[in-house]
Amino acid sequence: MAKTKGKKSKYVFLFLRIAFVTAGIIGAIVWGSQEQRWRKLTEINALIFIATLGIFVVSQIIVGFRWWILLRAQSIFIGFWAAVRLHFLGLFYNNCMPGSVGGDLVRAWYVTRHTDRKFEAALSVFVDRVVGLLSTLVIAAFFYLLFLQGQSDITATEKKSGFLRSVGEYKGIIFWFFVALLIILLGFALYKPTRMILAKVWSFICAHSLRAIWKFKDSAILYCSKPLTILVVFGLTFFLQIMVITGFWVLGRSLGITASIKYYYAFFTLTWVLGAIPISIGGAVVVEGMLMVLFINIANVAEGSAYALALCQRAVWILASLPGAVIHLLGAHLPKDFFVDYSKSTN
């Protein structure tokens, strides 16, 4: 019975995510057709777009290399290209598949099946994700504090309308919305059946978490004992993100966007972090919507140009994810392609 309820909840959540993305796509089509904003897409330089796509593909190979380094730090030895293939498989699940299984779970699954160090292998996926998000946040915060602090307030004041100004006008409604949400959550906590479910969950966590905590502690100590590895991982992340965003800046210039590159470094990284929130498929609609809002309201970019830039980024992500589908169809992600926990790995 509990499994049936769990499946129903999973399907409901999946349906809501798909509905959210579908509504966003319809809204984007309708909005883009107004005032012929979509015409800006016809001005895309094909060669620059292909170059941007190539840069993004190279960056994903670097991400695979980053994960490979983290695996080796835990003495989990797989071939470099095997790690890259698994990363592209996960990328495909993240950006193209509407299922509830994310790319990180796919990577963790295929590594843990072939090693006795299952917890450490799964932890490497988690650490890889955390490193990526932290590096992204650092870049966003750095460029915002250095170049853009206070500028958004000035821009919003100058504009008579727009999304950011609307948020300021309705901040009271937003506040009471979160108050109501908190009251609902407290109501669930006070409701006896809900309390019983929470108590069972807590008992399960207490019964199974002690061993995991010790393994987590050992793995954390091992990572901390290799500061050079962590430094290299953060350095690679910073390099690949700057490289990718610079590519989109060149693409934006070809679309007639004259905004400084500092806006790209701040806005792209910020929207990437927001896109990690699992309310849609691969951050679809969330990333594009926020990117357009920021460029239009703060960088004063024309609506059609911001629309084209946001869609170009999504197109690059999807096209770069397609090798993951090929890898899955060819079975290149299967265990025969690599050996784990052995220092002499093969590709």
Nearest to 115 by CA among 72, 157, 145: 72
Instruction: State in Å, rounded, how far the first CA of the chain is from the last one.
Output: 44
Which pTM value belongs to this model? 0.74
Distance CA 60, CA 149 (A): 31
Between CA 85 and CA 67 the distance in angstroms is 11
Residue 188 maps to a domain = yes
> Considering just the CA atoms, what is the radius of gyration of the chain in Å?
22
Mean pLDDT by 10 residues, the chain (347 residues): 56 65 70 68 91 97 94 86 91 78 78 73 84 86 75 50 53 62 64 65 62 66 81 92 96 93 92 82 85 92 92 95 90 56 47
Per-residue confidence (pLDDT) for residue 10, from 0 to 100: 60
Confirm whether 91 is domain-assigned: yes
The pLDDT assigned to 346 comes to 43
The token pair that represents 94 in the structure block: 């993240």
The alpha carbon torsion through 256, 294, 240, 94 (nearest 10 deg) reads -110
| 73 within domain boundaries | yes
Q: Residue 76 in contact with residue 341, Cβ under 8 Å?
A: yes
Q: For residue 243, count other CB atoms closer than 10 A to its CB.
A: 14
Which domain, by its residues, includes 265? 45-337
Residue 151 in tokens: 């500028």
pLDDT for 53 equals: 97
Any domain includes 211: yes
Query: 3-class SS at 93?
Result: helix
Nearest C-alpha neighbor of 237 from the set 52, 67, 55: 67
H-state helical runs in 259-332 = 261-275, 286-297, 303-330
Number of domains the chain is built from: 1
Please name which of 30, 19, 103 lies closest in space to residue 67, comparing C-alpha atoms: 103
Q: Hunting for tokens 């919003």 — which residue is that?
A: 156
Is 112 a domain residue?
A: yes
Query: Residue 155: which residues within 8 A CB-CB, separation 6 or more?
Result: 164, 297, 298, 300
